Amino acid sequence: MATQRFTVAKVGGDAGRAVGERLRAWAALGDAERDAAVTAFALGLRANAHVPPVVSFCEWADLWLMGDTLRSLVEGSGGVYLVADRFSLGVCDDLDAVRRLPRDGWQYDEQAAFAARLREAADEWKLVVPDGVIVVVREVLGPSADDDEVRVSLAGVPGWLRGA
């Protein structure tokens, strides 16, 4: 488990198809080449989050969810999932499969919330952008916080906030 930043984006049209093709091609690359390609893509997606054909973009920090949840949701939707040094990257080509992800029955609330973000991305702009892909990026930022660390943090105001 890790503290991580998740990004879920919908990329439409020809660009979306290109993302899927590139990820499949990167799977065959050596580690160094694949890491460079995945890193460049993840940073490029964030830098262009506000520019179509990126029509949906959501990013959040998660202190707990395991990477295998991401992999199972992406692969369970018929997608491709790659692991690189800094980022893990997945693409779901089948928007209908993403829309059908279960709403209930998850073991943890974080899993249900993650699936909801995927469904939301699939539905956004669907009347104008009926096709495309859902891109998921996971960036590990550090170790997970345990329950006791979180409880202790609630008893005071952190230094970065006191100066604001």
Task: Please report the pLDDT score of residue 32 as a whole number.
Answer: 96
Higher pLDDT, 97 or 126: 126
pLDDT at 147: 85
| pLDDT-derived band at 118, boundaries 50, 70, 90 | very high
Mean pLDDT of 8-18: 95
Tens of pLDDT along 23-54? 999 999 999 999 999 999 999 999 999 999 99
Triad 33, 76, 122: Cα angle to 5°: 90
Residue pair 135/89 in contact (Cβ under 8 Å)? The answer is yes
Quote the CA–CA distance of 148 and 143 in Å, as a whole number: 14
Q: Would you say residue 164 has pLDDT above 80?
A: no
pLDDT score for 98: 84
Q: Provide the pLDDT for residue 57.
A: 98
Tell me what the mean pLDDT of segment 110-138 comes to: 91
pLDDT at residue 1 is higher than 70: no
CA distances from 129 to 12, 16, 72, 122 (A): 6, 10, 26, 10
The mean pLDDT value for 118-137 works out to 93
Average pLDDT over residues 128-133: 91
- Mean per-residue pLDDT of the chain: 90
- For 53-70, the pLDDT digits (tens) are 999 999 999 887 776 777
Nearest Cα residue to 149 out of 63, 62, 65: 63
